[in-house]
Protein backbone atom coordinates (compact mmCIF):
# COMPACT_ATOMS: atom_id res chain seq x y z
CA UNK A 1 0.00 0.00 0.00
CA UNK A 2 1.32 3.42 -0.98
CA UNK A 3 1.63 5.79 1.96
CA UNK A 4 1.36 9.51 1.43
CA UNK A 5 3.53 11.63 3.72
CA UNK A 6 1.55 13.35 6.47
CA UNK A 7 2.65 16.80 5.33
CA UNK A 8 1.21 16.19 1.86
CA UNK A 9 -2.09 14.95 3.31
CA UNK A 10 -2.52 18.18 5.25
CA UNK A 11 -1.69 20.50 2.39
CA UNK A 12 -3.72 19.01 -0.48
CA UNK A 13 -7.18 20.09 0.74
CA UNK A 14 -5.99 23.66 1.27
CA UNK A 15 -4.43 23.88 -2.21
CA UNK A 16 -7.42 22.34 -3.93
CA UNK A 17 -9.82 24.63 -2.10
CA UNK A 18 -7.83 27.71 -3.13
CA UNK A 19 -7.69 26.91 -6.84
CA UNK A 20 -10.33 28.45 -9.06
CA UNK A 21 -10.81 27.78 -12.76
CA UNK A 22 -9.07 30.25 -15.04
CA UNK A 23 -11.11 32.44 -17.33
CA UNK A 24 -10.14 31.58 -20.90
CA UNK A 25 -10.41 34.45 -23.36
CA UNK A 26 -9.97 34.36 -27.13
CA UNK A 27 -7.13 36.68 -28.12
CA UNK A 28 -6.74 37.79 -31.73
CA UNK A 29 -3.31 39.17 -32.66
CA UNK A 30 -2.76 40.84 -36.03
CA UNK A 31 0.21 42.61 -37.58
CA UNK A 32 -0.35 46.21 -38.69
CA UNK A 33 0.22 46.20 -42.46
CA UNK A 34 2.34 49.37 -42.51
CA UNK A 35 4.56 48.63 -39.51
CA UNK A 36 5.86 45.90 -37.21
CA UNK A 37 3.30 46.75 -34.55
CA UNK A 38 1.09 43.90 -33.32
CA UNK A 39 -2.51 44.69 -32.43
CA UNK A 40 -4.28 42.43 -29.96
CA UNK A 41 -7.93 42.20 -29.04
CA UNK A 42 -10.39 40.02 -27.16
CA UNK A 43 -13.34 40.00 -29.57
CA UNK A 44 -15.92 38.90 -27.00
CA UNK A 45 -15.03 41.76 -24.63
CA UNK A 46 -15.86 45.26 -25.77
CA UNK A 47 -12.96 47.69 -25.29
CA UNK A 48 -10.37 44.94 -24.81
CA UNK A 49 -7.64 45.81 -27.28
CA UNK A 50 -4.01 46.91 -27.17
CA UNK A 51 -0.77 46.83 -29.12
CA UNK A 52 2.87 45.86 -28.71
CA UNK A 53 6.01 44.85 -30.54
CA UNK A 54 6.04 41.18 -29.45
CA UNK A 55 3.36 38.57 -28.84
CA UNK A 56 4.37 38.36 -25.18
CA UNK A 57 4.00 42.13 -24.80
CA UNK A 58 0.55 42.09 -26.44
CA UNK A 59 -0.67 39.27 -24.17
CA UNK A 60 0.73 41.06 -21.11
CA UNK A 61 -1.04 44.26 -22.17
CA UNK A 62 -4.30 42.38 -22.80
CA UNK A 63 -4.04 40.91 -19.31
CA UNK A 64 -3.70 44.43 -17.87
CA UNK A 65 -6.70 45.62 -19.91
CA UNK A 66 -8.83 42.73 -18.63
CA UNK A 67 -7.72 43.45 -15.05
CA UNK A 68 -8.79 47.09 -15.43
CA UNK A 69 -12.14 46.02 -16.89
CA UNK A 70 -12.58 43.58 -13.99
CA UNK A 71 -11.99 46.43 -11.51
CA UNK A 72 -14.88 48.24 -13.21
CA UNK A 73 -17.04 45.10 -12.92
CA UNK A 74 -17.25 44.61 -16.69
CA UNK A 75 -15.61 41.14 -16.83
CA UNK A 76 -14.90 38.35 -14.39
CA UNK A 77 -11.33 37.12 -14.08
CA UNK A 78 -11.73 35.17 -10.87
CA UNK A 79 -9.12 32.41 -10.79
CA UNK A 80 -6.82 34.07 -13.32
CA UNK A 81 -6.60 34.67 -17.05
CA UNK A 82 -5.62 32.37 -19.90
CA UNK A 83 -5.71 33.03 -23.63
CA UNK A 84 -6.71 30.92 -26.61
CA UNK A 85 -4.67 32.87 -29.19
CA UNK A 86 -5.27 33.26 -32.93
CA UNK A 87 -2.68 34.97 -35.13
CA UNK A 88 -3.22 36.83 -38.39
CA UNK A 89 0.16 37.79 -39.82
CA UNK A 90 -0.49 38.93 -43.38
Where exactly are the structural domains of the chain?
A: 22-88
Which candidate, 29, 25, 83, places its Cα nearest to that of 58?
Answer: 29
Helix (H) or strand (E) holding 42: none
Residue range 22-88, CATH number:
3.30.2390.10
In the three-class reduction of DSSP (H, G, I as helix; E, B as strand; rest coil), residue 62 is classed as: helix
d(CA 64, CA 12): 31
Please give the backbone phi and psi of residue 82, each rounded to the nearest 5 degrees, phi first.
-135, 155
d(CA 31, CA 87): 9
Tell if the pTM clears 0.85, that is, is over it.
no
pLDDT in tens, the chain (90 residues): 333 333 333 333 334 444 556 788 999 999 988 888 999 999 999 899 999 999 999 999 999 999 999 999 999 888 889 898 999 876
Amino acid sequence: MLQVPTLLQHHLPVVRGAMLPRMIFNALIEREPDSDILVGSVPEVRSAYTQGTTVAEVLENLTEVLQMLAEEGLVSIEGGIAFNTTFRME
